[in-house]
Amino acid sequence: MLHRRHPLHAPTKLDRRNVRLGVSASIAALLLSAFALTLTNSGMSLLGRGVGFLEFYAGVFALVLLTATVALGLLTTEKVFLSPANRVRAQLAHRATAAIGLAYLVTHVTLMISLGHVPPAAAVLPVAGIWIGFGTLAADMMVLIIITGVVRGRFAVTGRPWVWRILHAGSYLAWPVAILHGLTAGRPAAGWVTWSYVACLVAVGSALLVRVLATLRRPPAMPEPVDLLEVDDSPIERPEEINAPVSLDAARRKFREAG
């Protein structure tokens, strides 16, 4: 029996009042402690080191998280990889990594602009050279794609869900561009970094290939043919008429013939 205080299922245990309060409190504590650090000299140098770290690594984190987002998104759409329960989890993880990745992306862009590495216009327009321009392009597309992800529910109500699919599939274009930017802009990448990115590209690319091929080669969904019963063409045997008037002679003859 379903009871309102105890529904059978609990889709997520994270969306609780206490968790929400805790997360807001810790974010507030983080901001306040950063603010407190600005008050002392040693705190300022600590903050400077933190900013220097983020200057180098915010972009890397964003790229890694968005890579995970693309892979998780691909995993969750297909039936073959995961069970329904894990697909739900993968979808939640997909959203989480997208949100955190976006946060790092914003950090990366604001730091690059505020530290004077690129002009402010580079945030939206590819004006700062080709390699950084790739990053701008990828960031713009990522933001658009994440927006389509947020308003996904709207497309379910309209008659054109394929519009959403095409827009959201733009990530398969934006993501390699972002990796290209990551490998070429800034300092030269270490060998293992390049190789791991290539491995990611190959893995997701092949999964995508499987998906595209499976969609293209899927036979049209038709009802399975059901065998019809064989038709018998042999002539219909008429039973002897038994209601015909019987002549006594004919009956005797028949009796004699039968012996």
CA distances from 200 to 65, 69, 208 (A): 12, 12, 12
4 binds another protein (CB under 8 A): yes
The residue range among 45-53, 77-85, 112-120, 190-198 that interacts with another protein, by the rule CB under 8 A, is 77-85
7 binds another protein (CB under 8 A): yes
Q: How is residue 217 written in tokens?
A: 């080669």
Nearest Cα to 138, choosing from 67, 54, 57?
Answer: 67
Least distance between another protein and beta carbon 87 (Å) = 6
The residue range among 76-84, 134-142, 209-217, 227-235 that interacts with another protein, by the rule CB under 8 A, is 76-84
The residue range among 8-16, 107-115, 194-202, 207-215 that interacts with another protein, by the rule CB under 8 A, is 8-16
155 binds another protein (CB under 8 A): yes
User: What secondary structure, in 3-state letters, does the chain show?
Assistant: CCECCECCCCCCCCCCHHHHHHHHHHHHHHHHHHHHHCCCHHHHHHHHHHHHHHHHHHHHHHHHHHHHHHHHHHHHHCCCCCCHHHHHHHHHHHHHHHHHHHHHHHHHHHHHHHCCCCCHHHHCCCCCCHHHHHHHHHHHHHHHHHHHHHCHHHHHHCCCHHHHHHHHHCHHHHHHHHHHHHHHCCCCCCHHHHHHHHHHHHHHHHHHHHHHHHHHHCCCCCCCCCCCCCCCCCCCCCCCCCCCCCCHHHHHHHHHHHC
187 binds another protein (CB under 8 A): no
The residue range among 26-34, 52-60, 106-114, 156-164 that interacts with another protein, by the rule CB under 8 A, is 156-164
What is the per-residue binding string for another protein in 95-134, x denoting contact by CB under 8 A? ----------------------------------------
- Applying CB under 8 A, which of residues 87, 117, 172, 201 lies at the interface with another protein? 87
Q: How is residue 1 written in tokens?
A: 């029996």
Which of 11/259 has CB closer to another protein? Answer: 11
3 binds another protein (CB under 8 A): yes
Residues in 198-227 at the binding interface with another protein, rule: CB under 8 A: none
Residues in 158-177 at the binding interface with another protein, rule: CB under 8 A: 161, 164
5 binds another protein (CB under 8 A): yes
- Applying CB under 8 A, which of residues 69, 76, 107, 136 lies at the interface with another protein? 76
Assess contact for 105 and 66: CB atoms under 8 A: yes
- Applying CB under 8 A, which of residues 37, 51, 57, 91 lies at the interface with another protein? 91
Q: Which residues bind another protein (CB under 8 A)?
A: 1-9, 11, 76-77, 79, 84-85, 87-88, 91, 152-153, 155-157, 161, 164
